[in-house]
Chains A and B, each alone.
Chain A
Amino acid sequence: MSATRRMYRGLARLLPRHVREEGGGDLELAAVACLEAARARRGRPGVTVAWVGLVADVAFTAVAARRDAARSRILASSAAPRRGVIERMLDNLRKDLRFAVRSLVRQPGFTLVTVLTLALGIGANTAVFSVLNGVILRPLPYPQPERLVYITSQFPTLDFDQFWVSPPEFVEYRERNQVMASVGAYSVGSATLGSDPPSRPVRAQVTPDLLETLGVPPMAGRPFEAADSAPGAAPVAILSWELWQRGFGGDRDVVGRDVLINNVSTRIVGVMPAGFDVHDQKIELWTPFIIDPAQLPGRRGNHLLYLIGRLAPGVTMAQAQADLERQLADWQTLAPNSHTPSPDRHRLRIDPLKEDMVGSVRRALVILQAAVAFVLLIACANLANLLIARADTRSREYAVRSALGASRGRIFVQLVTEGLVIAVLAAIVGTGLAWAGLTALLTVNPDAIPRTAEVSLDWMVLGFTLGVAMLTAFVFGLVPLAHLSKGSVGQALKDAGGRSAAGSVRTGLRSMLVIGEVALAVMLVAGAGLLIRSFVNLMQVDLGFDRAQLSTFRVVLPGNAYDPPAQVAFYDRLLGELRAIPGVTSAALTSGLPPLRSVDANDTDFEHIPNNRPPGTQPAENVDFWQGISLDYVDTMGIPVVEGRGFERPDLQGPPVALVNETLARRFFEDRSPIGAHVKPGFGDGTPWLTIVGVLKDVKQGGVDSGAGTQLFLLNDQLPRVAGFSYSQMNVVVRSPLPLDALAPQFRRIMHGLDAALPIVNMRTMDEVVGESVARPRFLTLLLGVLAALALALAAVGTYGILSYLVTERRKEIGIRMALGADRRQVLGLVLGRGLLLSGLGLAAGLVGATALTRVLANLLFNVTPTDPVTLGAVTVVIAAVALVACVIPAFRATRVNPIAVLRNG
């Protein structure tokens, strides 16, 4: 109970002294009695309500007792007890608050516009900055994250950067480096978990040192040990917290249980803590990456690992870099004449892990932040404008109060209080907007930005924006005070609503604010316009296939249940049943689904290009994308055959054949025809030469905004015979005018009938696949578009505001002009001209700023230059139209000024 008493004692300090003296020490006991009575009647909720009652009681008593005191002072004319300074200040604060709230309630329009304007600025700023903070500024969720580095390979001659590292390279780097406390490696794919029904979580195969390098131990069970990655080790796995919750109901006894992973009984040895991840891959299942020292020499070209290292204490990035150069210089001596790292043709690179995770979106987020800052600036300019306008209308009020004896200090405090009330209201609404905006942002596009799991509403940012808003309210709330310099009071009293020198100065200030606002809005709209245009270009890119009416899903055949001929037979049955669905035109398979997949970059021999050639004289014999396809793939996708033919039924049993794309034909055959030429994919020894029988039109594989890359198409049905393997993971593509919703049950039925243990993964329409591949630019465009619209609206409000004020201010002048014979058109011209002049100046300033600023957008744009005249022209038209609308309303109001009324009333 003593805590309750202490709380109430603090509250009771707000009570007037005579009431406190009346109660003495019993005041708190009386409060406790109320709380006890409430608890006895209604339990805990009652206590809460009673607390509200106590607060209300104190507030009411504070106000009412003052009335009592005033009354008794007047009636009894007895000397009032002397009151302390703090009490007087609190008293004044109460009065000011009451006054501020009353005057804001009296002008609901002003209050609404001000609060909304500020709230939008605060809300947008907080939402975007929260994302920025979570993604870029906040450290990675590992201990000492600044010491984590990311190690990748580079092939300068092939133009590959941040490529994978092969197992021998990993082992050698781990042994030879002198700067790392530890180095781990991982490879991400997916695995089939369980059998009835199977699921397909994202799986990372990691070396046991990876978890140690990241420095996060499992929350239950044990981490991987070195023995787990030895060849022949008993299979083990660690679950992510999320998979543990979703797949195992958070069962504590899961550790030690055996589950099926890719049809192999695997023991679960641990569970990672919630949110633990590598590289934002949303990994759900961790298994050891098996390294067999006996097989390492043969895996030099097998680039499939990403490396993460932890720098030893005291080691800098520069030292790590130097250590790497030292290793590169003599790496060739480890395995001469083989695919070994070297200083020029096959480098490794080291980057800070964080730089790698957020580097790609850093620029986009910084641009967004700048855009939000613009919106906040515009909002503040609007707020300033509104406050100045209000100050003008109230200058008489302040003059009167000043004449009646209010000190400048009291008026000052009161103005500040009003600003504070506005800022606090705006903060409340703005926090709501920020929260809603953030939620919307993260639900619209969770995958477009990394590290979204760590994003939450940022109170620091909220505080910062609130501070900016308060400062604005504070500074511009003081404007009327400038009017009240000594001696000007009489002037203000006489100057009944007319113009004064101070008034025209303020009009100038307000005009500057409007020009600034319009300029900022122009820059934002120009930036958004460029991104929109760029996105439209992106969507109009010819993908090389007809994506309408295509549905797709993924099939994964476990290697221990299906040998290559069985895989081909399975695919054949599957395609047969799919084609039999009524309404399905055709069905086919591809191992690589366009338009966005990771590059294969596989060594591929061309018969006409001599081996052992001097470096640099011929293109490196490496093809960006390989894909195994079924017979009908080219037809199903609608890919045009440019030269020769596609795969045909006789090829199933015939000699080995291949298709290439236009880019490959150009790169390796220049102006000759590739038809009939021979190519040998690097499957291993004994692979026969394949004859190229056709050239296909380029299909996007590396993203809509990239070139097509070189592509080699293999007939999967031939592969078991030709290369002794077949693709075990295939994307099924089905062409049908039916919607996916109608097809999906059929797909499931067919798959279940063929093999109930196989999961169906990634069932989507091809339109969705394409949409996901451009998620990030779409996200940025959407956000910047929204911000630009917001800026435009705020600038329009600002323009409208100053013109309305102008009309009010010059009513008398307009009335006289009309009385002297000015017609409506001239009056219209007077106001419109003023408005358009301001907007025009803002537009010009904005366009200059835009040409300077849009440069930073350059590498986010696609087929648009940062100074694209069409976009800037469109922006000009849009801004001019909005400005015109904002000007027209006050201009028409000016024409309705009644000269007689104006002249009579003065």
Chain B
Amino acid sequence: MSAKPLPPHWFHILLALAGSDRHGLGIQQDVLDRTGGQVRLWPGMLYRNLHRLREAGLIEETAGPPAPEAGSPRYYRLTAAGRRLCRDEAARLADLVAVARERRVFGKGRP
């Protein structure tokens, strides 16, 4: 398990792809839905990081479903390395949450 935290938006992108393969807009929408519109992946940030994640071998391009409209967007899926990294980060966060719970950060009313 890596102790070094993943940049949050990387984690968000990887999490979005963990469920299913998506295109960029789909990733953005998934993050928006999950966070109630709080986390916005700005277009520049989104596509720059998709590019970087791809170069780092954490995600890869995949053939999406046949697009009904012209100009089909790129679809991405997690590579094995990406899935591992995502899992490590989730575990790291889960450990932190466990510590927080032990120390009753959430207060008495909550489990």
Contact = CB atoms under 8 A, between A and B. Distances in A.
Interface of A: 8, 12, 15-16, 18-20, 22-31, 33-34, 37-38, 40-41, 50, 53-54, 57-58, 60-62, 64-65, 68, 72
B47 interface: yes
Interface stretch (B13-21, B34-42, B78-86, B101-109): B34-42
B50 interface: yes
Interface size, B (range): 20 to 34
Nearest to A65: B48
B71 A24 contact: yes
Given A25-B73, A37-B40, A41-B37, A30 B55 contact: no
B42 A19 contact: no
Given A26-B25, A26-B73, A30-B25, A68 B52 contact: yes
B51 A30 contact: no
Interface string B56-99: 00000000000000010110000000000000000000000000
B13 to A, nearest CB: 12
Contacts of A72: 55
Give the 4 A-B CB pairs with smallest separation, nearest first. Answer: A61-B44, A57-B42, A23-B47, A30-B43
A33 B48 contact: no
Interface of B: 23-25, 28-29, 32, 37-38, 40-48, 50-52, 55, 71, 73-74
A19 B47 contact: yes
Contacts of A58: 44
Given A18-B51, A30-B24, A33-B29, A23 B43 contact: yes
A24 B37 contact: no
Contacts of B37: 37, 40-41
Contacts of B52: 68
B40 A22 contact: no
Nearest to A60: B44
A30 B28 CA distance: 7
A68 B23 CA distance: 22
Contact of A34 (B24, B40, B47, B55): B40
B43 A57 contact: yes
A692 to B, nearest CB: 93
Nearest to B32: A37
B24 A19 contact: no
Given A22-B47, A27-B47, A53 B24 contact: no
B55 A23 contact: no
A75 B67 CA distance: 36
A590 B43 CA distance: 80
A22 B25 contact: no
28 contacts: A8-B43, A12-B44, A19-B47, A19-B48, A22-B48, A23-B46, A23-B47, A24-B73, A24-B74, A27-B47, A29-B25, A30-B24, A30-B25, A30-B41, A31-B43, A33-B25, A33-B29, A34-B28, A34-B41, A34-B42, A34-B43, A41-B37, A41-B38, A53-B40, A60-B45, A61-B45, A65-B48, A68-B51
A53 B29 CA distance: 18
Contacts of A40: 37
B42 A53 contact: yes
Question: Could you tell me the dominant secondary structure of chain A's interface residues?
Answer: helix
Given A24-B73, A30-B25, A54 B51 contact: no
Nearest to A56: B42
Contacts of B50: 22
B28 A54 contact: no
Given A25-B73, A26-B73, A54-B42, A64 B25 contact: no
B42 A33 contact: no
A45 to B, nearest CB: 15
Contact of A33 (B23, B32, B38, B51): B32
Contacts of B44: 12, 15, 19, 57-58, 60-62
A58 B25 CA distance: 17
B42 to A, nearest CB: 4
Nearest to B26: A26
Contacts of A65: 48, 51
A50 B42 CA distance: 9
B15 to A, nearest CB: 18
Contacts of B47: 19-20, 22-23, 27, 30
Contacts of B45: 57, 60-61
Of A29, A37, A50, A72, chain B has the most CB atoms within 10 Å of the CB of: A37
B40 A19 contact: no
A27 B42 CA distance: 9
Contacts of A29: 25
Nearest to A50: B40
A302 B44 CA distance: 81
Contacts of A26: 23-25, 73
Given A25-B73, A37-B40, A30 B48 contact: no
A19 B41 contact: no
B43 A27 contact: yes
A23 B29 contact: no
Contacts of A18: 51
A27 B71 CA distance: 12
Of B24, B47, B74, chain A has the most CB atoms within 10 Å of the CB of: B47
Contacts of A33: 25, 28-29, 32
Contacts of B38: 41
Of A22, A30, A33, chain B has the most CB atoms within 10 Å of the CB of: A30
Nearest to B72: A24
Contacts of B24: 22-23, 26, 30
A22 B23 CA distance: 11
Contacts of A24: 71, 73-74
A19 B74 CA distance: 13
Nearest to B70: A25
A15 B50 CA distance: 14
A12 B43 CA distance: 9
Nearest to B73: A26
Given A18-B51, A30-B28, 12 more contacts: A19-B48, A19-B51, A20-B47, A23-B24, A24-B71, A27-B43, A30-B25, A33-B28, A50-B40, A53-B40, A54-B43, A68-B52
A64 B48 contact: yes
Nearest to B45: A57
Nearest to B38: A41
Nearest to A59: B44
Contacts of B41: 30, 34
Contacts of A57: 42-45
A8 B43 CA distance: 10
A20 B23 CA distance: 15
Contact of A61 (B23, B32, B48): B48
Nearest to A46: B37
A499 to B, nearest CB: 51
A166 to B, nearest CB: 78
Contacts of B29: 33
B58 to A, nearest CB: 14
Nearest to B43: A30
B50 to A, nearest CB: 5
Contacts of A28: 43
Contacts of B28: 30, 33-34
Contacts of B73: 24-26
Nearest to B69: A25
Of A12, A20, A54, A57, chain B has the most CB atoms within 10 Å of the CB of: A57
A38 B48 contact: no
B76 to A, nearest CB: 10
Contacts of B42: 30-31, 34, 53-54, 57, 61
B44 to A, nearest CB: 3
Nearest to A38: B40
A19 B44 CA distance: 7
A13 to B, nearest CB: 12
Given A37-B32, A72-B55, A22 B43 contact: no
Contacts of B23: 26
Of A23, A27, A33, chain B has the most CB atoms within 10 Å of the CB of: A23
A493 B42 CA distance: 48
A617 B102 CA distance: 120
Contacts of B51: 18-19, 22, 65, 68
